[in-house]
Structure 1
Amino acid sequence: MKLFLRAALFLGLLSLAWCAPGYRPGQLMLLVIGASASHPGVDQQALLQRVQALRSSPGLSGLKVATMHFDRPREASFARQVLGVSAGQLPCVCLVELDAAEVRPLRSLYSWASVTGARLAEVDKMADQWAQLANAPVPLMTPQAPPPVQQQVSVYQAPEQQAAANWTTAAPVAPLESDRLLAGVNMPVNTWLRSPNGRYGCLFQQGGNLVVYRFDRSPYQPMWNSMTDSRGGVNMRLSNDGVLRMFSGAHQLVWEAGDPGAFSHCYLRMQDDGNLVIYRENGNGMSVAWASNSNQSTP
């Protein structure tokens, strides 16, 4: 009986070790598989640019990226036989485990097939999987400093959700470290961005509503909101395609703002005029990709 229990314990521990393997960052790679190396299509180029841009995000500097192409027979054969990718699934991105020398792919751990422009946002999930397996989580933008104004925040409610009273109060919330949210960085609920002049703030409040406030009014004056109160939003992230997305606790998309594209640099900024703006680089400098249009000229 004791022998049986020891054997059962050993097998249990072995199964846990097998189900939750630990990896070094160098043992994992994002592999972009396309149809052609010499004549890449639009979707294939956009996918590669998106994956490469991930490496500039906080916490992802150790991310390895490589490519394979089906117009190269040996690579096509390897993709089919080892990674299980067919020509009908291109372009595709795989999170792969590398060999002991951290060079050759051994197997595909996760994959996204047929990644068109409309599905580029899903690539961010591959980065999240890499961070979890490599024990290198992408850092959250958590507030560090106390709020600049020791006052309770009046929480705006969407008109269809208002009852007799239009305002409720919430505990003071600490701001993020700057006036901007960089691509690839998380913004959880109960955090805000603050304009450099301190007059305006963008609060992602409990309940999942994103609200732009004017702080030099009592109570704080709401100027714009995402109309997402009580829809379950718990985290926001500006993706590398220049789109701001709000997700629920189940990682479901709740709300988004902006038009997707492949860009090397973008950020969300709370401006001194009260406007919340997404800026992105398009080859000719930074341009406005989206704005809340909440800017006011009132002194």
Structure 2
Amino acid sequence: MTIDALLARAARRLAACDSPSGRLDAEVLLCHVLGVDRTWLYTWGDREAPILARARFEALLAARALGHPVAYLTGVREFWGLRLATSPHTLIPRPDTERLVEAALAHGASDQGRLLDLGTGTGAVALAFASERPGWSVVGIDLSLEAVALARYNAQRLAIGNVDFHTGDWFTALNEESEKHDESGSARFDLIVSNPPYIAEDDPHLRQGDLRYEPQSALVAAEQGLADLRHLVDEARSHLVPGGWLLLEHGHGQGAAVREALAAEGYADTATLRDLGGHDRVSLGRHVEGRAGGERS
């Protein structure tokens, strides 16, 4: 069977399973098996597919037909031009989150500074920012030991040296570390960014698509998805330098609630940025030293 025929059959099989991107998924899986890029597939589609490669491809195709994410089947996902290793212990990096990176770069335009990425997962946001700001010191924190190990592996493989990853529950790791130092502000940052859990427990999307296979602890939050966002708003000020920014990714219907939480805690210049689809995606605010919670920007 030629590569073109194999792909056509695979695309029909995935379409029958209601896959919205059957042909693309089939191409990505076959590229992974053959160790080639998609241009190679288009150029050499009349070649016969090797028997062993066909067997591996059919196994991956069967898993995809059951709904398993392509990023977990191949073990990689591209984000911000970086080829990141993925695993079922972490969320799959998505294009919408690149809006968070763009906002961080816009508010961290200086040559030097410190950025904290909370809930770092694969390290996608931390590594993307660190790759663009080599003079910055970047720290990523995640509760999952497996996620931190994967983020460290990605940093090593990509040769990005200005980032460190640690295990901890939000700011806990920083609090423990700061106890080893004097009051020099060693645990304060110019930017704090996060893509925390923000999906409500009863959201039907949790039973659809890739979300069915991703770690629920990285997706779901109480208070209709707002609990972790509010916690970060409450705690971040003590870890920001005066004038430092907090930037939070959230769901498309949560912008107003996050801005309200930021304003209630005394952040200035609060705003919400939209993604390429026109949906609210990132809300942010600037820490003003001595500004009491409850004052509005």
TM-score, normalised via structure 1 length? 0.29
Q: Larger strand proportion, structure 1 or 2?
A: 1
TM-score scaled to structure 2, two decimals? 0.29
